[in-house]
Structure 1
Amino acid sequence: MSYLESLRVFVRVVELGSITAGGRDMRLSPAAASTRIRDLEAKFGARLLNRTTRTLTPTEIGQVLYENARRVLATLDEAEAAVASHSGTPQGALRVAAPLGAGRRLVAPLVPRFVAENPEVQVRLRLSDRAVNIVEDGIDLAFYLGQPEDSTLIRRKIADCPRVLVAAPAYLAQHGTPEAPEDLKRHNCLLLRFPRSPEYFWMLQTPEGPKKLAVAGAFDSDDGEVLRNWALDGTGIANRPRYEVAEALAEGRLIEVLPDTPPVAAEFGVLTPHRELQDPKVRLFIDFAARELKGALG
């Protein structure tokens, strides 16, 4: 088992390009991950990784080991899934990814309840507003908010997630309240931006149908929670999921802007890779999430 776990660590280190990141993904300290790599190098009598101050890449022998180890580990994972499907007891690690905001508020609270019902499963939750590569990153399922572009993945919609434009009372008192979508062009709009981000514009619902509106502002961030906090601080207008700002709206700390032409609702759902045999715990977690989150996004 130790040898197999060392191979798993090595594969993740190569895929993530870092011993620290690979170890963290496997719940190991950098020192423990380094020890696993050294054990493999001692076993094979060869250096497996080329290390510089900035990069880490496999040697020629390391690349051969990586390609073969990945195939072997994938076969073992499929075998475990097949056994689990017959035993009826879900077990093993489940790697779940989710956007930061939705992950913190919606997905993270599900994990303890799911594990309480399925104590043989270890859920490893990764949160990021950046796009993840499910296959390359070894993710079993990834929650999304919006419209995923990768058509090679299995997609399951859970619910529509209403969005709202919000601003603090102090901001509106100082800068005025927009009365029409075009007025947003004269306001400081808080944008979610990162490489390949689709949100360089806002799509609003109007009587004439969806309207794409280019907006701009002095602040942007790759963390949606930061945008919410900026809006609460009175710095501008944010476009956020309603569940994320519902409490602040109810308390009057935020005001809904342009309620008659709100942003188009975002789709909330799950992506999984195509596999001949889906691990039962993946399907079980998705069904659990769909059941638990029903009605929570409105």
Structure 2
Amino acid sequence: MTVDIGGAAAALQAADDVLILTHRRPDGDTTGCAGALCRGLRQLGKTAYILPNAEVTKRYAPMITECYPPKDFSPQYIITTDIAEEKLFTDNAEEYKGRVDLVIDHHRSNIGYGRQNLIQTGAGGCAEVVYDVLAALGVRLTQDIAGCVYVGLSTDTGCFKFSNTTAHSHEVAAACLAAGIDGGEINRALFETKSRPRFEMERILFDTMEFLHSGRIALAVLRRADIDRTGADMDDLDSIASLTRQIEGVQVGLTLTENKDGTTKLSVRTTKEVDASAICRKFGGGGHLRAAGATLGAELTTAQAREAVIRAAEEVYEQSGI
């Protein structure tokens, strides 16, 4: 069942003993949304926790780790934030498949797997949606809550540079700034400060990037050997896929990352003329028009994955009619 902001707020007003789920390889939006929502519900006097996510990195951990539940907590109401589909659930969330009470999301590919579904595809980030729900609930925008919302919104809009940024995105950001957060410092930490492993991985990415289809498609492969040698972790690789699209003339940026389990992560970034999610859907993935992802199985070598991804990207590019 689809609900609007008011409907979601009404459902949350009646709920208690809440558990909030975040997705695999958590980014700033899923963790920021969960952190803001959990703190907002607690402000209303409700019992609310966030399911532990073993993959959360040091950059986003502070928003959710202090909200982890005690061992004896028995949730009665399950919420997901920024999770487009159940296959993105963490391993410890498997028991909640088919049991989600409220889905809060902004992905076009979300078919609505919850009992109630608040999916606003026009939002720049899921954090915008969570902000509106909290406002409808009458939650006071404290610095802690505003910080979580701002991180979610800033990361999903690329520091408000991506085409998914809306007027409402800026309105929500303004409200967070008015609540007392240091937006400049947050953005510096998220987008300017680089670890040495991140610097090394960017150098490798640019050194090995291929240009295909008359320079319209750029492809980078991040090898597991290089990731391990540089000591790069998930924080260091966060948003690195966007670099492929920064080259003049490139309309489709493809980044393949070799995972430890032998699978290959595909990240696609495109200009407004090409649908990134259409490329990823060919491999069972999805996402947004300009940013999407998928995982290719371990049965494919990196070379085979590369060829399959190039074919898919060229097919979608040709269909775009550019």
Normalised to the residue count of structure 1, the TM-score between the two structures is 0.26
Name the one with the larger strand percent.
1
Compare CA radii of gyration and give the structure with the larger one. 1
TM-score, length of structure 2 as denominator length: 0.25
Q: Which has the higher contact order (CA 8 A, sep 6+)?
A: 1
